[in-house]
Amino acid sequence: MWKFSLVVWCIALLPAQSSKYGVGRPATPDQFRELATAIAPDGTGLPEGSGTVAAGQELFAARCSKCHGTKAEGAIGPPLVGGQGTLATAKPLKTVGSFWPYATTVWDYINRAMPFDQPGQLKPSEVYALVAYLLNLNGIIAGNQVMDARSLPKVKMPNRDGFTTDPRPDVGKKAAR
Amino acid sequence: MKDFGKSRRQMLRLGAAAGLLANHERALAWQNAPRPLGIPLGPYGERSPFEKAVRWTRDSKTPETGSSFTPLADSVGTLTPSSLHYERHHAGIPTIDPLQHRLVIHGMVDRPLSLTIAEIRRLPAVSRIVVLECGGNSGSEWAAKTGADVQRSHGLVSCSEWTGVPLSLVLAEVGVRPGAAWVIAEGADACRMERSIPLAKAMDNILLAYGQNGEAIRPAQGYPLRLLIPGWEGNTNVKWLHSLKLTDQAYMARDETAKYTDLMPDGKARIFTYDMEAKSVITFPSGGQTLPGPGLYELTGLAWSGRGRVERVEITTDGGANWTQAHLQEPRLPIAFTRFRLPWRFEGRDVVMGSRAIDETGYVQPTREALIEVRGVNSGYHYNGIKLWKVHAAGTVTNVEV
């Protein structure tokens, strides 16, 4: 067995076969951890932890209402609630509730970019709580639902099927060559 | 110096010989006029203090996020000075020490790699002159109240020479695993700006750019490293790039779902609308300028297309009834500013003028009305309608009221 391990180890130390220029160093686990913040819509990347609507409400008042308003109705920052049913009208209101297709995106964006003046400081459970509060505020989840790595990707956002691929060029006619 | 003294003596002799006393006195005065020395040499150049063109920044309660607009009417030729390149930031401009910066390529790769800027600069490089346009450029034109001048209406576009390493080369270094289909790019700014890029595009013509107009990329443009994706909306060109993660799916980042999607009148939104379609605008005469009076002028402007070369630019000076082909300055580079010009006589009467670009795919820049007919007025991004300016009889130039 040790011989096998040795062989594996030696192979690992060999310069990679198809690396032509051989620049750089193998990325370290520390670097992965720091950069593993991106969350996929299927939930890949979501960390341990969980959050309730109630905890989110408290946190929102303390950290978010300054910019987004006490009821997330918008102030310096955009509104985060309302707008469902307005997308096909003359005055569409695009919010987390009316427009965002994936709940995982809400988690990802709060985690990477919020609060605006101090991004990167929220703990995973705090982010889960804030997402739970916003989803509840938009009538998407019940008040007693807990958000975590398993429940969050299962949330179906109201506008999940509201997106189409790019059909351009879609306007005008081609010029004679 | 010798020759100069000689010619001065000759002049004095000539004056004396001719007995022209007044001339002689003038020559003496000229001889005695002090000429102060200019300023000394310097390590890093500045423009003339008489040049005042600046970016225009929209008022914002959070100055770290927002956009600044290139003064297109003041630009000559086809390149944008780095100092006047438009900006769009979401969490301020980070100050990054290039010695500390790393680009980490990870996810579905055989050899996850951490690269320093020096190592990236060691790799074979290319330079390309490429136009960069914000997906929201001319967004004001969807509304009835449109931008008053060309800086406000079209200033979120600039053209630079970019230098860097083809992303495909670096991806070959790390070995992309079967099943990988997307590259998730992330910046090192405070909000860790993120976009999903299809792997096919990454293998095509994306640059890991570290150079702009002959020097390092400016901090506002992503120093020390950014993605440069020719022809795609500016937002995908992630600045301060520190992470590329190979994945099997798009990550549906906020900036590719909640933002940078185009809402249609039926309530559906187009997603992954990357291309910037052909567009042009007359920069002289344009809104806010005043012509001194009737006479012969050279009408000029800029045209570009995210899909290749500009093939033709046509000008109307009668509100769209007739179109004349403008002269295009060579070389016409693909996905770069193309300067157009046309002699034009201002008769001192009201004129409505505009330009339309036709690119190498045969695409014709549409009118504002044609765009709105298909997309409504709430799609926000990718406006490329024909821009009309009104030259009034008195010589003032304004936006056409719509």
Name residues 73-112 of chain A within 8 A of B (Cβ).
76, 87-88, 90, 92, 94, 96, 99-102, 104-105, 108-109, 112
- pLDDT exceeds 60 at position A13: no
Whether B249 and A43 have beta carbons less than 8 Å apart is answered as no
Nearest-by-Cβ selection for B258 from A32, A100, A104: A100
Q: B300 with B341: CB under 8 angstroms?
A: yes
User: Using the beta-carbon criterion (under 8 Å), do B184 and A38 form an inter-chain contact?
Assistant: yes
- Give pLDDT, residue B146: 85
Q: What is the pLDDT of residue A56?
A: 98
pLDDT of res. A29: 82
pLDDT above 90 coverage of chain B, percent:
88
Rounded Cα gap, residues B227 and B208, in angstroms: 5
**Residue-level pLDDT at A177:** 54
Give the mean model confidence (pLDDT) for residues A83-87.
Answer: 98
Distance CA(B197)–CA(B194), nearest Å, equals: 10
At B5 the three-state DSSP class reads helix
| pLDDT tens by residue, B106-121 | 999 999 999 999 999 9
Tell me the nearest-neighbour CA distance from A177 into chain B, angstroms. Answer: 7
Residue B268, min C-alpha distance to chain A (Å)? 5
**Banded pLDDT at B362 (limits 50, 70, 90):** very high
Q: Which residue among A24, A99, A171 places its CB closest to the CB of B258?
A: A99
Contacting residues for B38 by C-beta, under 8 A, at least 6 apart: none
Q: Who among A18, A31, A177 is closest to B114 (CB)? A: A31
Q: Which of B85, B161, B170, B82 is nearest to B121 (CA)?
A: B170
Q: Mean pLDDT, to the nearest integer, of B153-178?
A: 98
Candidates B111, B192, B370; nearest CB to A19: B111
The C-alpha atoms of residue B190 and residue A31 are separated, in whole angstroms, by 17
- Which of A168, A170, A177 is the best mutation test for B, with the most CBs of B within 10 A? A168
- Residue B210: the pLDDT is 98
3-state secondary structure of A95: coil
Query: Quick check: A3 pLDDT over 90?
Result: no
Are A23 and B312 inside 8 Å of each other by CB? Answer: no
Residue A15, pLDDT score? 45
Q: Quote the CA–CA distance of B350 and A20 in Å, as a whole number.
A: 64
* Residue A121 sits at the chain B interface (C-beta within 8 Å): no
Residue B3 has pLDDT above 70, yes or no: no
C-alpha span between B323 and B354 (Å, rounded): 9
Residue A155 identity:
V
The CATH code of the domain at A51-156 is: 1.10.760.10
Q: Which residue in chain A is spatially nearest to B357 when comparing CA positions?
A: A175
Contact A88 B266 (CB under 8 A): yes
The identity of residue B327, as a single letter, is H
Cα A54 to Cα A147: distance, rounded to the nearest angstrom: 12
pLDDT for res B2: 40
Residue of B116, B378, B382 to mutate, testing the A interface (most A Cβ within 10 Å of its Cβ): B378
Confidence check: pLDDT of B368 > 70:
yes
Instruction: Give CA–CA dist A70/A77, Å, rounded.
Output: 12
- The domain segmentation of chain A, as residue ranges, is 51-156
Evaluate if residue B197 carries a pLDDT over 80. Answer: yes
- Tell me if B272 and A112 make a contact (CB, 8 A cut-off): no
| Chain B residues touching A155 at Cβ < 8 A | none
A54 strand-pairing partners: none
pLDDT of residue B147: 87
Residues 6+ apart with CB under 8 A from B273: A166, A168, B135, B233, B260, B261, B262, B381, B382
- Chain A CB contacts of B364 below 8 Å: 172-175
ipTM for this prediction: 0.90
CB B182 within 8 A of CB B198: yes
Optimal mutation site among A39, A164, A165, interface B, most CBs of chain B within 10 A:
A164
pLDDT over 70, % of chain A:
89
Provide the percentage of residues in chain A whose pLDDT is more than 90: 80
Cα B359 from Cα B347, distance rounded (Å): 32
pLDDT one-digit tens code per residue, A105-158: 999 999 999 999 999 999 999 999 999 999 999 999 999 999 999 999 999 999
Assign A11 a pLDDT band (cuts: 50, 70, 90): very low
- A165 in contact with chain B, both atoms CB, cutoff 8 A: yes
Model confidence at B287, pLDDT cuts 50, 70, 90, reads very high
Enumerate the residues of chain B whose CB falls inside 8 A of the CB of residue A21: 122-123, 173
A62 CB within 8 Å of a chain B CB = no
Taking only the tens place, the pLDDT of each residue in B20-58 is 455 555 555 566 788 999 999 999 999 999 999 999 998
Taking a C-beta distance cutoff of 8 angstroms, is the pair A10, A88 a contact? no
What part of A 122-161 touches B (C-beta under 8 Å)?
A: none
Three-state secondary structure along chain A? CHHHHHHHHHHHHCCCCCCCCCCCEECCHHHHHHHCCCCCCCCCCCCCCEECHHHHHHHHHHHCHHHHCCCCCCCCCCCCCCCCCCCCCCCCCCCCCCCCCEHHHHHHHHHHHCCCCCCCCCCHHHHHHHHHHHHHHCCCCCCCCCEECCCHHHCECCCCCCEECCCCCCCCCCCCC
SS3 A51: strand
CA distance B254 to chain A (A): 6
Contacts of A113 in chain B (CB under 8 A): 90-91, 190-192, 254
Q: A71 CA to chain B: closest CA distance, Å?
A: 20
B373 versus A7: which is more confidently predicted? B373
Does the pLDDT value for residue A17 go beyond 60? no
Contacts of B251 in chain A (CB under 8 A): 38-41, 108
Contact residues on chain B for A105, CB-CB shorter than 8 A: 252-254, 257-258
Comparing A51-65, B14-28, B147-161, the range with the smallest average pLDDT is B14-28
Going along chain B from its start, the domains and CATH numbers come out as 88-145+159-255 (3.90.420.10), 279-399 (2.60.40.650)
Number of cross-chain residue pairs from A and B with Cβ atoms under 8 Å apart: 186
Query: What mean pLDDT value characterizes chain B?
Result: 93
Q: What is the average pLDDT value for chain A, to the nearest integer?
A: 90
Which amino acid is located at A17 in the chain? Q
